[in-house]
Copies of this chain bind each other. A is one copy, B any other.
Amino acid sequence: MADSKGGQAGVAARTTMIDVANAAGVSFKTVSRVLNGEAYVRESTRGKVLEAARSLDYQFNHAARSLRSGSAQIVSLLTGNQSRAYTQSVHLGALQQCQQAGVHVVVESAAADIEVNIEALERSLLETAPMGVVVTPPLCDNAEIIALLERHHFRYVLISPVAPGPGTPHVGMDDEAAAREMTALLIGLGHRQIGFIQGDPDDPASSLRRRGYLSALADAHIAAEDTLVVSGRFDWDSGLVAADRLLDLDDPPSAIFAANDDMAAAVIAAAYRRDMRVPGDLSVAGFGDTSVASVISPQLTTVYQPIVDMVSEAVRILTGVISGADVEVTQMTLPYRLVERGSTGKC
């Protein structure tokens, strides 16, 4: 009775900018300004609006925005030449979060030969006018791409960059710590002669993992031997070649740690071809916990890498203009996890 305005009793009407404006004592236009991160809003006003939005549990209406603004919000996904499993995970993470934010995903895949395509990329980005760009490995460590993004003032978040500049928004995991921990696990099993297969020697992620490997050896006072570190290119074939190099050594390793699962799978294949048993004669560890890890024999001991979540968080940073926090969090390190399966055993 007290409230005789329209609206059905019991049905909570959606909270709109107008409600937030009333609660904050400003016009709804000001609410719009704050929520869109526009300049020229007094700091105290901004605080009141954010506080009101939070206490009313205000949900932004993306449909209304895109109807009025006449253009869909877009997040661009810059992907390089990773494995199929990796790329699928990246797409999934982006799509999941974007659909929730009412944002569209546009995939810009850059081939290996960046130099040739950088102009096409620039044109496409300018045309698409994304509200943000997610840059995945190995592109996230490409100075030319970062420079391009900076030049045009695109907002962006890097996934798993090795050397992000100070303040550069990024989401990743601690590759070095993960590799160190995995190496320590092997050492704990009694292995002293541990081989490491990296990706391209100058691949950023790969070098972090190698660093972790070396530091675990140092921690255990095991001398690192150059011959025990060989290079692949992250694919299965190169992993096979690398494994053979290690197993052909005069003093071959009793355990091999590969910088990704595909190469680790190849190590197991190489062992079988030599009638070596895994883990009886050779322990094998991978990195990534991709789907291959659980469908090879024996199943692979590896590091779970939260790719879907990393990309998801990156999109959240890009799309989440309304954050309660005073300082927006734009750098995150997500937890990894060691997954011990059948491919590793005591020495």
Interface residues of A (CB under 8 A from B): 14, 61-64, 66-67, 70, 72, 83-85, 88-89, 91-92, 95-96, 98-100, 104-105, 236, 240, 261-262, 265-266, 269, 272-273, 275, 290-292, 294-297, 299
Decide if A295 touches B236 in the complex (CB within 8 Å). Answer: yes
> Distance in Å from the Cβ of A259 to the closest Cβ of chain B?
14
Decide if A294 touches B95 in the complex (CB within 8 Å). Answer: no
Of the listed residues A105, A240, A261, the one surrounded by the most CB atoms of chain B closer than 10 A to its CB is A105
Contacts of A100 in B (CB 8 A): 104
- CA separation between A61 and B67, bound complex, in Å? 8
- CA separation between A290 and B85, bound complex, in Å? 9
- CA separation between A294 and B248, bound complex, in Å? 25
**6 smallest A-B Cβ distances: which pairs?**
A269-B297, A95-B95, A272-B272, A63-B67, A63-B66, A63-B63
- CA separation between A89 and B89, bound complex, in Å? 10
CB-CB under 8 A for A70 and B297, given A99-B99, A291-B84: no
Decide if B70 touches A67 in the complex (CB within 8 Å). Answer: no
Other than the known A61-B67, A85-B85, A292-B296, what 8 A-B pairs have Cβ atoms closer than 8 Å? A62-B63, A63-B67, A64-B67, A92-B92, A95-B99, A99-B104, A236-B297, A292-B292
> Distance in Å from the Cβ of A135 to the closest Cβ of chain B?
20
Contacts of A236 in B (CB 8 A): 294-297, 299
Contacts of A89 in B (CB 8 A): 88
Q: From the candidates B67, B291, B299, name the one contacting A85 in the complex (CB within 8 A).
A: B291
> Distance in Å from the Cβ of A134 to the closest Cβ of chain B?
15
26 A-B pairs within 8 Å (CB atoms) are namely: A62-B63, A63-B63, A63-B64, A63-B66, A64-B67, A84-B291, A85-B85, A88-B291, A91-B96, A92-B92, A92-B95, A95-B96, A99-B104, A99-B105, A236-B294, A236-B295, A236-B296, A265-B295, A265-B297, A266-B297, A269-B296, A272-B272, A272-B297, A291-B291, A292-B295, A296-B296
Contacts of A297 in B (CB 8 A): 236, 240, 265-266, 269, 272-273
- CA separation between A49 and B64, bound complex, in Å? 27
